Chains A and B, each alone.
Chain A
Amino acid sequence: MLLEMDQPDLAPHIVKDIHERYQTPWRWTDSEPTLNVLAVVIDNLKLSLEFAIYDQGFAQTGPLDLEFVVNGHTLDKVRYDTPGLKHFDKPVPPGWLSAVVESTIAIKVDKLYVAPADGAKFGIILAKAGLVR
Chain B
Amino acid sequence: MIRALPPILFGALFTVAAAWAMGAILLRGFAGIFYKWEARLFAFIAGSACLSAVVFLLCIFKFARPGVFLAIGLASIGYALFSKADRVHGKNFTPLPTLGRWLFAAVFAAFSVYYLLNAMSPEQSPDGVSYHLGVVAQYYRARGFPLITNNYYASLTQGIELLFLFAFEYGKHSAAAMVHFSFWIALPLMIFSYGRRVGHPLAGAAAALFTALSPVVGMDGSVAYVDVALAAYAFALFYVLQIWDQTRDRRLLILAGLFAGFAYEVKYTGGVAALYAVGFVAWKQFRAKKPVLRPALIVALTAFACMAPWMVKNAIEVANPVSPFASRWFPSPYVHTSQIEDWSRYLRKYDFTSYRELPIELTVTGIKTSGYFGPLFLLAPLALLALRSREGRQVLLAAAIFGATYFTNIGARFLIPVIPFIALALALVFERWKWLLLLLVAGHVAASTPFAFNRYASGAWAVWTVSPRAALRLESQDAYLTRTSSTYPVARMLDRLVPAGQKVFTFGPIAAAYTSREILVGWFSGPSEILQDILWSAMGNDQAPQRVVKFHFPERLIRRLRVVETARTPDQIWSVSELRVLAEGKEIPRAPEWRLSAHPNPWDVQLAFDNSPVTRWRTWQDAGPGMYIQIDFGRLQAVDSVTIETSNDADKSSLAVEELTNEAGWNRINAPAEPSESPIRASLRRAAAEEFKARGVRYLLIEDGAWGAKDFRLYSNAWGIRCIGQWRDSRLYYIE
Contacts and interface: CB of A to CB of B under 8 A. Distances in A.
- A, B in one complex: yes
Interface of A: 1, 9, 12-13, 38-43, 94-95, 98-101
A34 to B, nearest CB: 16
B714 A99 contact: no
A103 B715 CA distance: 13
Nearest to B685: A40
Contact of A99 (B680, B710, B711, B713): B680
B681 A100 contact: no
Nearest to B681: A42
B546 interface: yes
Contacts, number: 49
7 contacts: A13-B714, A38-B711, A40-B718, A94-B679, A100-B538, A100-B680, A101-B539
Contacts of B715: 1, 38, 40
A38 B714 contact: yes
A95 B546 CA distance: 13
B544 interface: yes
A38 B538 contact: no
A43 B681 contact: yes
B670 interface: no
B541 interface: yes
By Cβ-Cβ distance, the 8 closest A-B pairs, closest first, are: A100-B544, A40-B683, A99-B683, A41-B682, A99-B680, A38-B715, A40-B718, A100-B680
Nearest to A101: B541
B403 interface: no
A100 B540 contact: yes
A13 B715 CA distance: 11
B684 interface: yes
Nearest to A41: B682
B679 A41 contact: no
A95 B681 CA distance: 9
A1 B541 CA distance: 20
A94 B679 CA distance: 9
A45 to B, nearest CB: 11
B713 A12 contact: yes
Interface string B361-392: 00000000000000000000000000000000
A98 B683 CA distance: 8
Interface string B526-564: 000000000000111100101000000000000000000
Contacts of A13: 714
Given A40-B718, A41-B681, A41-B683, 14 more contacts: A12-B714, A38-B714, A38-B715, A39-B683, A40-B683, A42-B679, A94-B681, A95-B679, A98-B541, A99-B680, A99-B684, A100-B680, A100-B683, A101-B539
A56 B538 CA distance: 47
B540 to A, nearest CB: 7
Nearest to B682: A41
B682 A99 contact: yes
B713 A9 contact: yes
A70 to B, nearest CB: 15
Given A38-B718, A98-B541, A100-B539, A12 B681 contact: no
B662 to A, nearest CB: 45
Interface string B671-687: 00000000111111000
B714 A9 contact: yes
Given A12-B714, A13-B714, A38-B714, A98 B679 contact: yes
Interface residues on B, range: 10 to 19
Contacts of A12: 710, 713-714
Residue among A39, A95, A100 with most chain B CB within 10 A: A100
Contacts of B711: 38
Contacts of A99: 679-684
Contacts of A100: 538-541, 544, 546, 680, 683-684
Contacts of B544: 100
B684 to A, nearest CB: 7
B682 A40 contact: yes
A73 B718 CA distance: 25
Contacts of A40: 682-683, 715, 718
A38 B680 CA distance: 13
B548 to A, nearest CB: 15
A38 B679 contact: no
A83 B604 CA distance: 61
Interface string B176-194: 0000000000000000000
Contacts of A43: 681
Nearest to A9: B714
A42 B679 CA distance: 9
Contacts of A101: 539-541
Contacts of B541: 98, 100-101
A12 B539 CA distance: 16
Contacts of A41: 681-683
Residue among A38, A43, A99 with most chain B CB within 10 A: A99
Nearest to A3: B714
Nearest to A38: B715
Contacts of B546: 100
A99 B678 CA distance: 12
A95 to B, nearest CB: 7
B305 to A, nearest CB: 55
A38 B713 contact: no
A39 B682 CA distance: 8
Given A38-B718, A40-B718, A98 B680 contact: yes
Contacts of A9: 713-714
Contacts of B679: 42, 94-95, 98-99
Contacts of B718: 38, 40
A91 B681 CA distance: 15
A70 B541 CA distance: 17
Interface string B701-736: 000000000110111001000000000000000000
Nearest to B718: A40
B95 to A, nearest CB: 71
A80 B681 CA distance: 34
A12 B713 CA distance: 10
A101 B718 CA distance: 12
Contacts of A38: 683, 711, 714-715, 718
A100 B684 CA distance: 7
Contacts of B684: 99-100
